[in-house]
């Protein structure tokens, strides 16, 4: 079985509990990856974490729009309840989905216009 590098393990054990809407799923033998899902839980992107430092992973998830709490049980402000999803009202009209969904995941770089 593969072992997590100390940097990734520290992120998983100490940092993930601080992020709202970020969860860990352990898959024995798999390399650690960040899997981004759409509002319909469809896979959008996989980002390998094996070669990243704890600091780089934290920076990445914050750039993706995940809200970091002060403590694991700290309240999440209402405007971040669906973070990193973005309310439909902030999307250009051509990006609004045809479903009655209220939120969409967000990606700053615009790689996935449907995010």
For position 86, what pLDDT does the model report?
58
For position 3, what pLDDT does the model report?
66
Is residue 98 in a domain? Answer: no
Is residue 59 in a domain? Answer: yes
Is residue 92 in a domain? Answer: no
Alpha-helix runs per DSSP H in the chain: 6-10, 54-63
Is residue 69 in a domain? Answer: yes
Is residue 106 in a domain? Answer: no
Q: Which domain holds residue 76?
A: 6-80
Confidence category of residue 2, pLDDT binned at 50, 70, 90: low
Is residue 12 in a domain? Answer: yes
Is residue 41 in a domain? Answer: yes
Is residue 113 in a domain? Answer: no
Return the CATH number at 70.
3.40.30.50
Spacing of C-alpha 19 from chain mean position: 9
- How far is Cα 53 from Cα 73, in angstroms, rounded to an integer? 25
For position 37, what pLDDT does the model report?
87
- pLDDT tens-digit readout, 12-63: 999 999 999 998 888 888 899 999 988 788 899 999 999 999 999 999 999 9
- How far is Cα 89 from Cα 20, in angstroms, rounded to an integer? 22
Spacing of C-alpha 27 from chain mean position: 18
Work out whether the CA dihedral 63, 67, 68, 72 comes out positive or negative: negative
- pLDDT tens-digit readout, 54-99: 999 999 999 999 999 999 999 999 999 888 875 544 444 444 444 4
Count of domains forming the chain: 1
Which tokens belong to 56? 């780089």
For position 78, what pLDDT does the model report?
93
Top-confidence residue, 109 or 67: 67
């Amino acid at each position: 079985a593969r072992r997590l590098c100390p940097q990734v393990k520290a992120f998983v054990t100490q940092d993930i509990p601080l992020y709202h809407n970020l969860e860990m799923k352990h898959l024995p033998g798999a390399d650690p990856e960040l899997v981004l899902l759409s509002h319909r839980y469809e896979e959008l992107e996989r980002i390998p974490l094996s070669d990243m430092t704890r600091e780089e992973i934290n920076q990445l998830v914050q750039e993706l729009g995940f809200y970091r709490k002060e403590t694991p049980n700290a309240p999440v402000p209402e405007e971040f309840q669906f973070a990193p999803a973005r309310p439909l009202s902030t999307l250009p009209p051509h990006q609004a989905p045809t479903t009655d969904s209220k939120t969409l995941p967000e990606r700053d770089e615009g790689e996935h216009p449907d995010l």
